[in-house]
Structure 1
Protein backbone atom coordinates (compact mmCIF):
# COMPACT_ATOMS: atom_id res chain seq x y z
CA UNK A 1 0.00 0.00 0.00
CA UNK A 2 1.33 3.43 -0.91
CA UNK A 3 1.82 6.24 1.59
CA UNK A 4 -1.03 8.22 0.02
CA UNK A 5 -3.35 5.23 0.37
CA UNK A 6 -2.38 4.86 4.03
CA UNK A 7 -3.04 8.55 4.58
CA UNK A 8 -6.44 8.29 2.91
CA UNK A 9 -7.37 5.30 5.06
CA UNK A 10 -6.29 7.16 8.18
CA UNK A 11 -8.38 10.19 7.23
CA UNK A 12 -11.44 7.96 6.78
CA UNK A 13 -11.23 6.06 10.06
CA UNK A 14 -9.68 8.39 12.62
CA UNK A 15 -12.71 10.57 13.30
CA UNK A 16 -12.68 13.20 16.05
CA UNK A 17 -14.85 12.63 19.09
CA UNK A 18 -16.87 15.83 18.53
CA UNK A 19 -18.10 16.88 15.10
CA UNK A 20 -19.91 20.24 14.71
CA UNK A 21 -22.72 20.38 12.16
CA UNK A 22 -25.17 22.83 10.69
CA UNK A 23 -28.74 21.79 11.52
CA UNK A 24 -31.62 22.35 9.12
CA UNK A 25 -34.28 24.43 10.84
CA UNK A 26 -36.92 21.76 10.25
CA UNK A 27 -35.12 19.18 12.40
CA UNK A 28 -33.72 21.43 15.12
CA UNK A 29 -36.57 20.25 17.39
CA UNK A 30 -35.48 16.62 16.96
CA UNK A 31 -31.95 17.46 18.01
CA UNK A 32 -33.17 19.26 21.14
CA UNK A 33 -35.86 16.70 22.07
CA UNK A 34 -35.63 13.82 24.53
CA UNK A 35 -32.88 11.37 23.48
CA UNK A 36 -34.11 8.33 21.59
CA UNK A 37 -32.58 5.52 19.57
CA UNK A 38 -32.32 6.23 15.84
CA UNK A 39 -32.48 3.51 13.18
CA UNK A 40 -30.34 3.48 10.03
CA UNK A 41 -32.39 3.47 6.81
CA UNK A 42 -29.57 3.74 4.29
CA UNK A 43 -25.88 4.58 4.12
CA UNK A 44 -24.06 6.31 1.26
CA UNK A 45 -20.70 8.10 0.95
CA UNK A 46 -22.25 11.55 1.40
CA UNK A 47 -25.41 10.76 3.39
CA UNK A 48 -26.77 8.48 6.08
CA UNK A 49 -30.55 8.39 6.45
CA UNK A 50 -31.89 7.69 9.93
CA UNK A 51 -35.32 7.55 11.53
CA UNK A 52 -36.90 7.96 14.93
CA UNK A 53 -40.40 7.29 16.16
CA UNK A 54 -42.44 10.07 17.73
CA UNK A 55 -46.03 10.88 18.65
CA UNK A 56 -47.88 13.58 16.74
CA UNK A 57 -51.44 14.39 17.78
CA UNK A 58 -51.70 11.12 19.69
CA UNK A 59 -50.57 9.00 16.72
CA UNK A 60 -47.12 7.50 16.25
CA UNK A 61 -45.18 8.42 13.13
CA UNK A 62 -41.71 8.02 11.69
CA UNK A 63 -39.51 11.08 11.22
CA UNK A 64 -36.47 10.86 9.02
CA UNK A 65 -33.34 12.95 9.19
CA UNK A 66 -30.00 12.76 7.42
CA UNK A 67 -26.38 13.05 8.47
CA UNK A 68 -24.68 14.74 5.51
CA UNK A 69 -21.13 15.54 4.48
CA UNK A 70 -20.26 19.03 3.27
CA UNK A 71 -20.46 17.93 -0.38
CA UNK A 72 -23.90 16.29 -0.07
CA UNK A 73 -27.18 17.66 -1.36
CA UNK A 74 -28.41 19.82 1.53
CA UNK A 75 -31.73 18.26 2.38
CA UNK A 76 -34.13 20.22 4.60
CA UNK A 77 -33.94 17.38 7.15
CA UNK A 78 -30.15 17.33 7.36
CA UNK A 79 -27.34 17.68 9.86
CA UNK A 80 -24.49 18.93 7.67
CA UNK A 81 -20.93 18.19 8.74
CA UNK A 82 -18.17 20.65 7.93
CA UNK A 83 -16.03 18.08 6.10
CA UNK A 84 -16.48 16.48 2.66
CA UNK A 85 -16.87 12.77 1.99
CA UNK A 86 -13.20 12.57 0.95
CA UNK A 87 -12.21 13.23 4.57
CA UNK A 88 -14.74 11.19 6.50
CA UNK A 89 -16.34 7.77 6.15
CA UNK A 90 -19.98 7.97 7.19
CA UNK A 91 -20.52 4.16 7.25
CA UNK A 92 -17.66 3.82 9.76
CA UNK A 93 -19.12 6.65 11.80
CA UNK A 94 -22.64 5.26 12.14
CA UNK A 95 -21.38 1.71 12.73
CA UNK A 96 -19.20 2.82 15.65
CA UNK A 97 -21.93 2.07 18.19
CA UNK A 98 -25.53 2.84 19.17
CA UNK A 99 -27.06 5.85 17.37
CA UNK A 100 -28.98 8.17 19.70
CA UNK A 101 -30.57 11.49 18.73
CA UNK A 102 -31.63 14.15 21.22
CA UNK A 103 -30.48 16.19 24.16
CA UNK A 104 -28.75 18.61 21.82
CA UNK A 105 -26.65 16.09 19.90
CA UNK A 106 -26.49 13.04 17.67
CA UNK A 107 -24.37 10.36 19.36
CA UNK A 108 -22.78 7.61 17.29
CA UNK A 109 -20.95 5.33 19.71
CA UNK A 110 -17.95 7.37 20.93
CA UNK A 111 -18.62 10.20 18.46
CA UNK A 112 -20.89 13.20 19.06
CA UNK A 113 -22.37 15.46 16.38
CA UNK A 114 -23.36 18.82 17.83
CA UNK A 115 -25.57 21.52 16.36
CA UNK A 116 -23.19 24.41 15.77
CA UNK A 117 -25.65 26.57 13.82
CA UNK A 118 -29.11 26.51 12.25
CA UNK A 119 -29.40 26.33 8.48
CA UNK A 120 -32.26 28.24 6.87
CA UNK A 121 -34.26 25.94 4.62
CA UNK A 122 -37.54 27.85 4.28
CA UNK A 123 -37.97 29.32 0.81
CA UNK A 124 -38.45 33.09 0.57
CA UNK A 125 -39.23 35.10 -2.57
CA UNK A 126 -39.84 38.78 -3.23
CA UNK A 127 -42.36 39.40 -5.97
CA UNK A 128 -44.27 37.19 -8.39
CA UNK A 129 -42.84 34.92 -11.11
CA UNK A 130 -42.37 36.58 -14.49
CA UNK A 131 -44.04 35.34 -17.67
CA UNK A 132 -40.81 35.36 -19.69
CA UNK A 133 -38.89 33.39 -17.06
CA UNK A 134 -41.69 30.83 -16.79
CA UNK A 135 -41.79 30.43 -20.57
CA UNK A 136 -38.03 29.93 -20.86
CA UNK A 137 -37.95 27.42 -18.00
CA UNK A 138 -40.83 25.52 -19.57
CA UNK A 139 -39.11 25.38 -22.96
CA UNK A 140 -35.89 24.09 -21.42
CA UNK A 141 -37.76 21.41 -19.47
CA UNK A 142 -39.71 20.27 -22.53
CA UNK A 143 -36.48 19.97 -24.51
CA UNK A 144 -35.11 17.32 -22.12
CA UNK A 145 -38.38 15.70 -21.00
CA UNK A 146 -37.93 12.33 -22.67
CA UNK A 147 -34.38 11.89 -21.43
CA UNK A 148 -34.87 12.94 -17.81
CA UNK A 149 -38.49 12.67 -16.73
CA UNK A 150 -39.91 9.80 -14.74
CA UNK A 151 -43.39 11.14 -15.56
CA UNK A 152 -43.43 11.93 -19.28
CA UNK A 153 -46.36 13.61 -20.98
CA UNK A 154 -48.09 15.07 -17.93
CA UNK A 155 -49.59 18.57 -18.10
CA UNK A 156 -48.57 19.43 -14.56
CA UNK A 157 -50.16 22.91 -14.30
CA UNK A 158 -53.40 21.47 -15.67
CA UNK A 159 -53.20 18.49 -13.32
CA UNK A 160 -52.33 20.46 -10.18
CA UNK A 161 -54.50 23.58 -10.58
CA UNK A 162 -57.79 21.86 -9.56
CA UNK A 163 -56.02 20.30 -6.56
CA UNK A 164 -55.68 23.78 -5.04
CA UNK A 165 -59.43 24.41 -5.31
CA UNK A 166 -61.17 21.23 -4.16
CA UNK A 167 -60.59 18.39 -1.73
CA UNK A 168 -61.76 15.70 -4.15
CA UNK A 169 -59.35 16.90 -6.84
CA UNK A 170 -56.55 17.10 -4.28
CA UNK A 171 -57.17 13.46 -3.38
CA UNK A 172 -57.21 12.48 -7.05
CA UNK A 173 -53.86 14.18 -7.67
CA UNK A 174 -52.35 12.52 -4.62
CA UNK A 175 -53.44 9.12 -5.97
CA UNK A 176 -51.93 10.04 -9.34
CA UNK A 177 -48.51 11.13 -8.04
CA UNK A 178 -47.66 9.97 -4.51
CA UNK A 179 -45.21 7.08 -4.60
CA UNK A 180 -45.13 6.97 -8.40
CA UNK A 181 -41.72 5.83 -9.61
CA UNK A 182 -38.83 3.91 -8.02
CA UNK A 183 -36.24 4.98 -5.46
CA UNK A 184 -36.01 6.67 -2.06
CA UNK A 185 -37.76 9.70 -3.57
CA UNK A 186 -40.10 8.59 -6.40
CA UNK A 187 -40.54 10.99 -9.31
CA UNK A 188 -44.16 11.71 -8.41
CA UNK A 189 -43.12 12.73 -4.91
CA UNK A 190 -40.33 14.93 -6.28
CA UNK A 191 -42.84 16.74 -8.52
CA UNK A 192 -45.10 17.30 -5.52
CA UNK A 193 -42.21 18.44 -3.33
CA UNK A 194 -41.12 21.00 -5.93
CA UNK A 195 -44.68 22.15 -6.41
CA UNK A 196 -45.52 22.41 -2.70
CA UNK A 197 -42.41 24.34 -1.73
CA UNK A 198 -42.77 26.76 -4.65
CA UNK A 199 -46.52 27.20 -4.21
CA UNK A 200 -45.98 27.98 -0.53
CA UNK A 201 -43.27 30.52 -1.39
CA UNK A 202 -45.58 32.11 -3.98
CA UNK A 203 -48.40 32.20 -1.40
CA UNK A 204 -50.78 29.80 -3.10
CA UNK A 205 -53.17 27.92 -0.80
CA UNK A 206 -51.88 24.35 -0.65
CA UNK A 207 -53.71 23.19 2.49
CA UNK A 208 -56.08 20.72 0.81
CA UNK A 209 -53.41 19.29 -1.46
CA UNK A 210 -50.91 18.93 1.38
CA UNK A 211 -53.46 17.12 3.59
CA UNK A 212 -54.28 14.72 0.75
CA UNK A 213 -50.62 14.10 -0.10
CA UNK A 214 -49.54 13.40 3.48
CA UNK A 215 -52.52 11.10 4.08
CA UNK A 216 -51.73 9.21 0.89
CA UNK A 217 -48.02 8.98 1.68
CA UNK A 218 -48.50 6.85 4.80
CA UNK A 219 -47.26 3.39 3.90
CA UNK A 220 -47.29 4.14 0.16
CA UNK A 221 -43.96 5.87 -0.32
CA UNK A 222 -40.54 5.59 1.36
CA UNK A 223 -40.21 7.28 4.75
CA UNK A 224 -37.53 9.66 3.46
CA UNK A 225 -39.77 10.85 0.64
CA UNK A 226 -42.72 11.32 2.99
CA UNK A 227 -40.49 13.39 5.29
CA UNK A 228 -39.36 15.61 2.41
CA UNK A 229 -43.00 16.15 1.41
CA UNK A 230 -43.74 17.36 4.95
CA UNK A 231 -40.84 19.80 4.73
CA UNK A 232 -42.00 20.98 1.30
CA UNK A 233 -45.48 21.63 2.68
CA UNK A 234 -43.86 23.85 5.31
CA UNK A 235 -42.03 25.76 2.56
CA UNK A 236 -38.66 24.10 3.23
CA UNK A 237 -36.46 22.93 0.37
CA UNK A 238 -33.01 22.76 -1.19
CA UNK A 239 -30.67 25.74 -1.77
CA UNK A 240 -30.79 25.04 -5.52
CA UNK A 241 -34.59 25.38 -5.46
CA UNK A 242 -34.31 28.67 -3.57
CA UNK A 243 -32.03 30.04 -6.30
CA UNK A 244 -34.42 28.89 -9.03
CA UNK A 245 -37.38 30.52 -7.28
CA UNK A 246 -35.46 33.78 -6.98
CA UNK A 247 -34.48 33.75 -10.66
CA UNK A 248 -38.08 33.06 -11.72
CA UNK A 249 -39.06 36.40 -10.16
CA UNK A 250 -36.20 38.43 -11.66
CA UNK A 251 -34.89 39.35 -15.10
CA UNK A 252 -31.77 37.18 -14.77
CA UNK A 253 -30.42 34.28 -16.87
CA UNK A 254 -32.39 31.21 -15.89
CA UNK A 255 -30.07 28.57 -17.33
CA UNK A 256 -27.51 28.27 -14.48
CA UNK A 257 -30.18 28.09 -11.76
CA UNK A 258 -32.26 25.53 -13.65
CA UNK A 259 -29.20 23.44 -14.51
CA UNK A 260 -28.20 23.33 -10.83
CA UNK A 261 -31.58 21.79 -9.96
CA UNK A 262 -31.42 19.38 -12.92
CA UNK A 263 -28.09 18.01 -11.65
CA UNK A 264 -29.78 16.67 -8.49
CA UNK A 265 -29.95 12.89 -8.71
CA UNK A 266 -30.84 11.04 -11.91
CA UNK A 267 -34.42 12.20 -12.48
CA UNK A 268 -35.14 13.91 -9.15
CA UNK A 269 -33.86 17.27 -10.36
CA UNK A 270 -36.07 17.24 -13.42
CA UNK A 271 -39.12 16.28 -11.35
CA UNK A 272 -38.40 18.96 -8.75
CA UNK A 273 -37.90 21.62 -11.41
CA UNK A 274 -41.11 20.56 -13.16
CA UNK A 275 -43.06 20.96 -9.93
CA UNK A 276 -41.51 24.38 -9.29
CA UNK A 277 -42.34 25.45 -12.84
CA UNK A 278 -45.98 24.33 -12.48
CA UNK A 279 -46.36 26.35 -9.26
CA UNK A 280 -44.78 29.41 -10.88
CA UNK A 281 -47.17 29.17 -13.84
CA UNK A 282 -50.21 28.91 -11.56
CA UNK A 283 -48.97 31.76 -9.33
CA UNK A 284 -48.48 33.96 -12.41
CA UNK A 285 -51.97 33.14 -13.69
CA UNK A 286 -53.48 33.87 -10.28
CA UNK A 287 -51.72 37.25 -10.09
CA UNK A 288 -52.85 38.15 -13.62
CA UNK A 289 -56.40 37.18 -12.76
CA UNK A 290 -56.36 39.42 -9.70
CA UNK A 291 -55.15 42.34 -11.82
CA UNK A 292 -57.83 41.92 -14.49
CA UNK A 293 -60.87 41.23 -12.29
CA UNK A 294 -62.37 44.43 -10.97
CA UNK A 295 -63.97 44.37 -7.52
CA UNK A 296 -67.76 44.35 -7.50
CA UNK A 297 -69.34 47.77 -6.80
CA UNK A 298 -70.55 48.17 -3.25
CA UNK A 299 -74.30 47.83 -2.82
CA UNK A 300 -74.22 49.90 0.33
CA UNK A 301 -72.92 53.20 -1.08
CA UNK A 302 -74.74 56.34 -0.08
CA UNK A 303 -77.04 57.90 -2.65
CA UNK A 304 -77.57 54.64 -4.55
Structure 2
Protein backbone atom coordinates (compact mmCIF):
# COMPACT_ATOMS: atom_id res chain seq x y z
CA UNK A 1 0.00 0.00 0.00
CA UNK A 2 1.19 3.53 -0.81
CA UNK A 3 -0.25 6.77 0.45
CA UNK A 4 -0.96 10.04 -1.33
CA UNK A 5 -3.28 13.03 -1.49
CA UNK A 6 -6.37 13.06 -3.72
CA UNK A 7 -7.77 16.12 -5.51
CA UNK A 8 -11.12 17.12 -4.08
CA UNK A 9 -12.34 17.41 -7.68
CA UNK A 10 -12.10 13.64 -8.19
CA UNK A 11 -12.31 12.38 -4.59
CA UNK A 12 -15.95 11.25 -5.17
CA UNK A 13 -14.58 8.55 -7.47
CA UNK A 14 -13.13 6.78 -4.45
CA UNK A 15 -16.51 6.59 -2.72
CA UNK A 16 -18.64 3.54 -3.22
CA UNK A 17 -17.64 0.05 -4.29
CA UNK A 18 -14.57 -0.89 -6.30
CA UNK A 19 -14.91 -0.50 -10.06
CA UNK A 20 -12.58 -1.41 -12.91
CA UNK A 21 -10.60 1.22 -14.79
CA UNK A 22 -8.56 1.22 -17.99
CA UNK A 23 -5.00 2.53 -18.26
CA UNK A 24 -4.90 4.96 -21.20
CA UNK A 25 -1.34 6.30 -20.74
CA UNK A 26 1.62 5.74 -18.45
CA UNK A 27 4.89 7.66 -18.12
CA UNK A 28 7.49 7.83 -15.40
CA UNK A 29 5.50 10.75 -13.94
CA UNK A 30 1.88 9.66 -14.28
CA UNK A 31 -0.61 6.90 -14.96
CA UNK A 32 -3.89 8.05 -16.49
CA UNK A 33 -7.01 5.97 -15.94
CA UNK A 34 -10.31 5.94 -17.82
CA UNK A 35 -12.99 5.69 -15.15
CA UNK A 36 -16.16 5.26 -17.18
CA UNK A 37 -17.75 8.04 -15.11
CA UNK A 38 -19.59 10.63 -17.22
CA UNK A 39 -18.69 13.68 -15.13
CA UNK A 40 -15.23 12.55 -14.03
CA UNK A 41 -13.98 10.44 -16.94
CA UNK A 42 -10.26 10.41 -16.07
CA UNK A 43 -8.17 9.98 -12.94
CA UNK A 44 -4.41 10.62 -12.87
CA UNK A 45 -1.97 9.06 -10.42
CA UNK A 46 1.14 11.28 -10.42
CA UNK A 47 4.47 11.57 -8.66
CA UNK A 48 5.15 14.63 -6.53
CA UNK A 49 7.38 16.17 -9.26
CA UNK A 50 4.74 15.83 -11.99
CA UNK A 51 2.39 18.55 -13.23
CA UNK A 52 -0.36 18.73 -10.63
CA UNK A 53 -3.43 18.13 -12.77
CA UNK A 54 -6.81 18.97 -11.20
CA UNK A 55 -7.83 15.29 -11.41
CA UNK A 56 -4.71 13.91 -9.72
CA UNK A 57 -3.89 11.57 -6.87
CA UNK A 58 -0.46 12.91 -5.90
CA UNK A 59 2.03 10.40 -4.52
CA UNK A 60 4.63 11.26 -1.85
CA UNK A 61 7.65 10.23 -3.94
CA UNK A 62 9.35 11.53 -7.08
CA UNK A 63 9.64 9.95 -10.51
CA UNK A 64 13.37 9.53 -9.90
CA UNK A 65 12.70 7.51 -6.76
CA UNK A 66 9.88 5.37 -8.19
CA UNK A 67 8.97 5.89 -11.84
CA UNK A 68 5.40 5.03 -12.79
CA UNK A 69 5.94 3.81 -16.36
CA UNK A 70 4.11 0.59 -15.61
CA UNK A 71 2.21 -1.69 -17.95
CA UNK A 72 -0.37 -3.22 -15.63
CA UNK A 73 -2.94 -5.75 -16.73
CA UNK A 74 -5.62 -4.39 -14.43
CA UNK A 75 -6.59 -1.22 -12.62
CA UNK A 76 -9.50 -0.01 -10.54
CA UNK A 77 -10.80 2.56 -8.10
CA UNK A 78 -13.33 2.87 -5.30
CA UNK A 79 -13.65 1.64 -1.72
CA UNK A 80 -11.24 4.42 -0.75
CA UNK A 81 -8.36 3.37 -2.99
CA UNK A 82 -6.88 3.26 -6.48
CA UNK A 83 -5.35 0.01 -7.70
CA UNK A 84 -2.84 -0.20 -10.56
CA UNK A 85 -1.56 -3.70 -11.15
CA UNK A 86 -0.38 -5.12 -7.83
CA UNK A 87 -0.04 -1.69 -6.19
CA UNK A 88 -2.77 -0.19 -4.01
CA UNK A 89 -2.85 3.56 -3.38
CA UNK A 90 -4.91 4.80 -0.44
CA UNK A 91 -4.93 8.59 -0.06
CA UNK A 92 -4.40 9.80 3.47
CA UNK A 93 -5.51 13.37 2.75
CA UNK A 94 -6.96 15.59 0.04
CA UNK A 95 -5.83 18.73 -1.76
CA UNK A 96 -7.91 21.37 -3.53
CA UNK A 97 -6.92 22.24 -7.09
CA UNK A 98 -6.77 25.93 -7.98
CA UNK A 99 -10.14 27.18 -9.13
CA UNK A 100 -10.61 30.32 -11.19
CA UNK A 101 -13.30 32.61 -9.82
CA UNK A 102 -14.32 36.04 -11.01
CA UNK A 103 -11.17 38.16 -10.95
CA UNK A 104 -11.35 41.44 -8.97
CA UNK A 105 -9.98 43.34 -11.96
CA UNK A 106 -9.72 42.81 -15.73
CA UNK A 107 -6.40 41.98 -17.38
CA UNK A 108 -3.98 44.89 -17.44
CA UNK A 109 -3.59 46.18 -21.04
CA UNK A 110 0.15 46.79 -20.63
CA UNK A 111 0.64 43.26 -19.30
CA UNK A 112 -1.38 41.78 -22.14
CA UNK A 113 0.83 43.61 -24.67
CA UNK A 114 3.96 42.49 -22.82
CA UNK A 115 2.95 38.85 -22.73
CA UNK A 116 2.06 38.71 -26.45
CA UNK A 117 5.66 39.69 -27.22
CA UNK A 118 7.09 37.24 -24.67
CA UNK A 119 4.90 34.42 -25.94
CA UNK A 120 6.08 35.00 -29.49
CA UNK A 121 9.69 34.76 -28.33
CA UNK A 122 9.44 31.90 -25.84
CA UNK A 123 6.68 29.47 -26.83
CA UNK A 124 6.86 26.49 -29.15
CA UNK A 125 5.45 27.33 -32.60
CA UNK A 126 1.77 26.72 -33.11
CA UNK A 127 1.09 24.00 -35.74
CA UNK A 128 0.21 25.76 -39.03
CA UNK A 129 -3.17 24.02 -39.23
CA UNK A 130 -4.22 25.70 -35.98
CA UNK A 131 -3.31 29.29 -36.90
CA UNK A 132 -6.50 30.09 -38.85
CA UNK A 133 -8.65 28.34 -36.23
CA UNK A 134 -7.13 30.45 -33.46
CA UNK A 135 -7.64 33.58 -35.57
CA UNK A 136 -11.26 32.56 -36.05
CA UNK A 137 -11.75 32.20 -32.30
CA UNK A 138 -10.14 35.60 -31.62
CA UNK A 139 -12.39 37.28 -34.19
CA UNK A 140 -15.52 35.60 -32.82
CA UNK A 141 -14.61 36.68 -29.29
CA UNK A 142 -13.97 40.23 -30.48
CA UNK A 143 -17.36 40.33 -32.23
CA UNK A 144 -19.00 38.98 -29.05
CA UNK A 145 -21.25 36.76 -31.17
CA UNK A 146 -22.29 33.67 -29.20
CA UNK A 147 -23.04 31.53 -32.27
CA UNK A 148 -19.70 32.43 -33.88
CA UNK A 149 -17.85 31.75 -30.63
CA UNK A 150 -19.54 28.35 -30.43
CA UNK A 151 -18.65 27.55 -34.04
CA UNK A 152 -15.03 28.72 -33.74
CA UNK A 153 -14.52 26.85 -30.48
CA UNK A 154 -15.97 23.63 -31.87
CA UNK A 155 -13.55 23.85 -34.79
CA UNK A 156 -10.64 23.63 -32.32
CA UNK A 157 -11.80 20.55 -30.41
CA UNK A 158 -9.33 17.69 -30.81
CA UNK A 159 -7.14 19.60 -33.28
CA UNK A 160 -3.48 18.64 -33.03
CA UNK A 161 -1.51 15.62 -31.82
CA UNK A 162 -1.03 14.18 -28.35
CA UNK A 163 -3.05 13.33 -25.25
CA UNK A 164 -4.01 17.01 -24.97
CA UNK A 165 -4.16 18.45 -28.51
CA UNK A 166 -3.25 22.11 -28.97
CA UNK A 167 -6.79 23.06 -29.90
CA UNK A 168 -8.08 21.69 -26.60
CA UNK A 169 -5.38 23.45 -24.61
CA UNK A 170 -6.32 26.73 -26.30
CA UNK A 171 -9.95 26.14 -25.34
CA UNK A 172 -8.97 25.38 -21.75
CA UNK A 173 -7.21 28.75 -21.60
CA UNK A 174 -10.20 30.54 -23.11
CA UNK A 175 -12.59 28.86 -20.67
CA UNK A 176 -10.47 29.81 -17.66
CA UNK A 177 -10.05 33.41 -18.86
CA UNK A 178 -13.80 33.70 -19.53
CA UNK A 179 -14.55 32.53 -16.02
CA UNK A 180 -12.01 34.98 -14.60
CA UNK A 181 -12.93 38.07 -16.63
CA UNK A 182 -16.53 37.54 -17.68
CA UNK A 183 -16.06 36.14 -21.17
CA UNK A 184 -18.49 33.95 -23.16
CA UNK A 185 -18.33 30.90 -20.92
CA UNK A 186 -21.69 29.48 -22.03
CA UNK A 187 -21.05 29.25 -25.81
CA UNK A 188 -17.52 27.97 -25.19
CA UNK A 189 -18.91 25.27 -22.92
CA UNK A 190 -21.66 24.39 -25.40
CA UNK A 191 -19.03 23.80 -28.07
CA UNK A 192 -17.74 20.88 -26.00
CA UNK A 193 -21.00 18.90 -26.00
CA UNK A 194 -19.50 16.02 -28.00
CA UNK A 195 -15.86 16.55 -27.04
CA UNK A 196 -15.63 13.05 -25.56
CA UNK A 197 -16.18 11.67 -29.08
CA UNK A 198 -13.73 14.00 -30.80
CA UNK A 199 -10.65 14.19 -28.61
CA UNK A 200 -8.57 11.92 -26.35
CA UNK A 201 -10.06 11.01 -22.99
CA UNK A 202 -7.54 12.90 -20.89
CA UNK A 203 -8.08 16.08 -22.88
CA UNK A 204 -11.88 15.78 -22.73
CA UNK A 205 -11.61 15.38 -18.95
CA UNK A 206 -9.40 18.46 -18.56
CA UNK A 207 -11.84 20.48 -20.68
CA UNK A 208 -14.59 19.50 -18.21
CA UNK A 209 -12.40 20.68 -15.34
CA UNK A 210 -11.71 23.97 -17.16
CA UNK A 211 -15.45 24.59 -17.56
CA UNK A 212 -15.64 24.43 -13.76
CA UNK A 213 -12.59 26.72 -13.46
CA UNK A 214 -10.28 23.95 -12.19
CA UNK A 215 -6.76 24.06 -13.59
CA UNK A 216 -3.07 23.49 -13.02
CA UNK A 217 -1.43 25.94 -10.57
CA UNK A 218 0.68 27.50 -13.33
CA UNK A 219 -2.40 28.58 -15.30
CA UNK A 220 -4.00 30.04 -12.19
CA UNK A 221 -0.86 32.07 -11.40
CA UNK A 222 -0.65 33.30 -15.01
CA UNK A 223 -4.22 34.60 -14.95
CA UNK A 224 -3.57 36.39 -11.68
CA UNK A 225 -0.37 37.93 -13.06
CA UNK A 226 -2.22 39.30 -16.10
CA UNK A 227 -4.57 41.09 -13.70
CA UNK A 228 -1.59 42.62 -11.90
CA UNK A 229 -1.14 40.14 -9.06
CA UNK A 230 2.41 38.83 -9.30
CA UNK A 231 5.37 39.05 -11.68
CA UNK A 232 4.31 38.38 -15.26
CA UNK A 233 7.39 36.93 -16.97
CA UNK A 234 8.12 34.29 -14.28
CA UNK A 235 4.44 33.27 -14.34
CA UNK A 236 4.55 32.88 -18.13
CA UNK A 237 7.79 30.90 -18.03
CA UNK A 238 6.37 28.53 -15.42
CA UNK A 239 3.26 28.02 -17.54
CA UNK A 240 5.37 27.35 -20.65
CA UNK A 241 7.12 24.55 -18.75
CA UNK A 242 3.82 22.63 -18.59
CA UNK A 243 4.03 19.82 -21.13
CA UNK A 244 5.70 20.07 -24.52
CA UNK A 245 3.25 22.60 -25.95
CA UNK A 246 0.35 22.72 -23.47
CA UNK A 247 1.53 25.74 -21.49
CA UNK A 248 1.98 27.90 -24.57
CA UNK A 249 -1.38 26.85 -25.96
CA UNK A 250 -3.11 27.57 -22.65
CA UNK A 251 -1.55 31.06 -22.75
CA UNK A 252 -2.84 31.58 -26.31
CA UNK A 253 -6.35 30.71 -25.21
CA UNK A 254 -6.12 33.06 -22.25
CA UNK A 255 -4.93 35.87 -24.51
CA UNK A 256 -7.70 35.25 -27.05
CA UNK A 257 -10.13 36.34 -24.33
CA UNK A 258 -7.79 38.71 -22.52
CA UNK A 259 -7.15 40.97 -25.54
CA UNK A 260 -10.81 41.96 -25.64
CA UNK A 261 -11.24 42.22 -21.88
CA UNK A 262 -8.18 44.48 -21.70
CA UNK A 263 -9.60 46.79 -24.36
CA UNK A 264 -7.26 45.64 -27.14
CA UNK A 265 -8.48 45.12 -30.70
CA UNK A 266 -7.14 41.83 -32.03
CA UNK A 267 -8.62 42.46 -35.48
CA UNK A 268 -6.00 45.21 -35.87
CA UNK A 269 -3.23 42.82 -34.87
CA UNK A 270 -2.44 40.80 -38.00
CA UNK A 271 0.96 40.08 -36.51
CA UNK A 272 -0.56 38.56 -33.35
CA UNK A 273 1.95 35.88 -32.33
CA UNK A 274 1.13 32.44 -33.66
CA UNK A 275 4.18 30.82 -32.12
Question: What TM-score range do you get, normalising by the shorter chain?
Answer: 0.7 to 0.9
Q: How far 1:130 sits from its partner (Å)?
A: 0.9
CA distance in 2 between partners of 1:189 and 1:70 (Å)? 25
Please tell me whether residue 117 in structure 1 is matched to residue 94 in structure 2. yes
Give the secondary-structure state (helix, strand or coil) at the position aligned to 1:65. strand
Please tell me whether residue 49 in structure 1 is matched to residue 36 in structure 2. no
**1:22-37 maps to which residues of 2 (within 5 A)?**
22-37=5-20
- Contact 2:109-2:263 at 8 Å conserved across structures: no
Q: How far 1:88 sits from its partner (Å)?
A: 1.1
Higher helix residue share: 1
Taking only aligned residues, the RMSD between alpha carbons, in angstroms, comes to 2.3
Q: Where in structure 1 are there 5+ consecutive unaligned residues? A: 1-16, 57-61, 287-304
TM-score normalized with structure 2 length: 0.85
Please tell me whether residue 98 in structure 1 is matched to residue 79 in structure 2. no
Q: Where in structure 2 are there 5+ consecutive unaligned residues? A: 265-275
Higher strand residue share: 1
CA distance in 1 between partners of 2:229 and 2:23 (Å)? 44
Q: How far 1:86 sits from its partner (Å)?
A: 0.9
CA distance in 2 between partners of 1:149 and 1:250 (Å)? 27
- Contact 1:20-1:113 at 8 Å conserved across structures: yes
CA distance in 1 between partners of 2:252 and 2:20 (Å)? 37
CA distance in 2 between partners of 1:131 and 1:142 (Å)? 17
TM-score normalized with structure 1 length: 0.77
The aligned counterpart of 2:126 is 149
The aligned counterpart of 2:4 is 21
CA distance in 2 between partners of 1:30 and 1:225 (Å)? 18
- 1:215-245 deviation digits (Å, cap 9, x = unpaired): 2413211111111111001101110011111
**1:50-199 maps to which residues of 2 (within 5 A)?**
50-54=33-37, 63-92=41-70, 95=72, 98-115=74-91, 116-124=93-101, 125-144=103-122, 147-150=124-127, 151-152=130-131, 154-155=134-135, 156-162=137-143, 165-166=145-146, 168-199=147-178
CA distance in 2 between partners of 1:33 and 1:193 (Å)? 30
- Contact 2:107-2:258 at 8 Å conserved across structures: yes
- Name the count of aligned residue pairs: 258
More contact order relative to length (CA 8 Å, sep ≥ 6) = 2
Q: Structure 1's 285 and 90: CA in aligned 2 closer, same or farther, altered over 3 A?
A: same
Q: How far 1:251 sits from its partner (Å)?
A: 6.3
**Of 211, 223, 236, which aligns to 2:190?**
211
Give the secondary-structure state (helix, strand or coil) at the position aligned to 1:247. helix
